């Protein structure tokens, strides 16, 4: 059955790979992000390579009014969203708490927690009305274990862990599945963003072991949507084989 999948943060990393995976499998995609040029490039790729139907929506998930406007303005034939993948997110900076940069903190909390909440707030009613849907939140190992200088990023992902559980409880009566996918180290643009464009520093994060790829996470996100109607995966933690916890890596 052809489903409608809405993926936030589809301009890079996991979100882009997830959009490709669902398009490859014949589904309709709503792709979102702030970088319009990348959204347009991805839309063309999905249309040309997979003959997919694609709607590209350019907005910032931190802006509640924009989120509401974009969801309410969906064309009728795009409103029956089957799967919402709350993927947009970021880490910014890696300072001890007493030296933290307030703007970095706001960006992480506003994107990772409030943005995910705004998306859920305006998409979930469409699912409730249909008594059907699946919300997949991208958490992190950082939402399971705190590590040095991870303070606020970890806090925002612990928040995603709690919000996912609360969402599942609130929506269980409406036949809506709610899943958290919590990856470990994956080589996307994540570390370049965290280190504010310092590619060299970002590269050192993934030196000496094989990190996850965006495609690995796309496989998992796709998999959780393929289970029978009565089966839901609540939570999945996925790490590279060479990673045992937030802090333990086997590096060459
Ligand atoms: P990328 O930096 O490659 O992708 C992040 C995506 O989020 C981009 O598409 C970006 O789009 C989007 N985004 C960021 N801020 C906003 C915003 N305010 N509004 C809309 N979209 C936004 O990183 P990843 O793919 O690695 O990250 C995806 C998710 O996975 C994040 O939630 C991250 O915390 C999580 N994660 C990452 C891990 C890793 O090691 N890579 C491990 C565990 C979890 P644009 O800039 O165009 O808006
Ligand atoms: C990203 C993984 O370990 O850098 O969420 O926090 S980590």
pTM, entire model: 0.99
What average pLDDT is seen over the chain?
98
- Partners of residue 126 on adjacent β-strands: none
Q: What is the mean pLDDT of residues 220-224?
A: 98
Q: What is 5-64 written as a DSSP string?
A: EEESSTTSHHHHHHHHHHHHTT-EEEEEES-HHHHHHHHHHHHHHH---EEEEE--TT-H
Looking from the CA of residue 38, the nearest atom of ligand 1 is 47
pLDDT confidence of residue 94: 97
pLDDT tens, residue by residue, 50-83: 999 999 999 999 999 999 999 999 999 999 999 9
Residue pLDDT, tens place only, 98-115? 999 999 999 999 999 999
Cross-sheet strand order for the sheet of 4-7: 54-58, 28-33, 4-7, 83-86, 133-138, 176-183, 235-238
| Confidence (pLDDT) at 242 | 98
CA-closest residue to ligand 1 atom 12: 9
153 catalytic per annotation: yes
* Interval 121-161: pLDDT, tens: 999 999 999 999 999 999 999 999 999 999 999 999 999 99
Residues 86, 92, 96, 101, Cα dihedral to 10°:
-120
Q: Catalogue all structural domains in the chain, each as residue range(s) with its CATH number.
A: 4-238 (3.40.50.720)
| Predicted pLDDT of residue 9 | 98
What residues are in contact with ligand 2 under a 6 Å CB criterion? Answer: 140-142, 150, 185, 246
């Amino acid at each position: 059955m052809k489903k409608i999948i809405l993926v936030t943060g589809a301009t890079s990393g996991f979100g882009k790979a997830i959009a490709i995976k669902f398009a490859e499998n014949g589904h309709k995609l709503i792709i979102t992000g702030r970088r319009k040029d990348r959204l347009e490039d991805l839309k063309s790729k999905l249309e040309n390579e997979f003959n997919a139907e694609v709607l590209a929506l350019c907005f910032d998930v931190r802006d509640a009014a924009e989120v509401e406007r974009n969801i309410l303005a969906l064309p009728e034939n795009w409103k029956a969203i089957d799967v919402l993948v709350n993927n947009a997110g970021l880490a910014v900076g890696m300072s001890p708490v007493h030296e933290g940069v307030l703007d970095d903190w706001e960006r992480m909390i506003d994107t990772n927690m409030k943005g995910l909440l705004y998306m859920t707030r305006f998409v979930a009613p469409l699912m409730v009305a249909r008594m059907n849907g699946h919300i997949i939140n991208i958490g992190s190992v950082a939402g399971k274990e705190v590590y040095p200088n991870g303070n606020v990023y970890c806090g925002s992902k612990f928040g995603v862990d709690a919000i996912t559980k609360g969402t599942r409880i609130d929506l269980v009566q409406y036949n809506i599945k709610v899943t958290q996918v919590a990856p470990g180290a994956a080589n996307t643009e994540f570390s370049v963003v965290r280190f504010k464009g310092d590619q060299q520093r970002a590269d050192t994060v993934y030196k000496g072991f094989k990190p996850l790829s965006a495609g690995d996470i796309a496989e998992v996100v796709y998999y959780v949507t393929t289970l029978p109607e009565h089966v839901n995966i609540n939570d999945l933690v996925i790490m590279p084989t060479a990673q045992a916890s937030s802090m333990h890596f086997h590096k060459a």
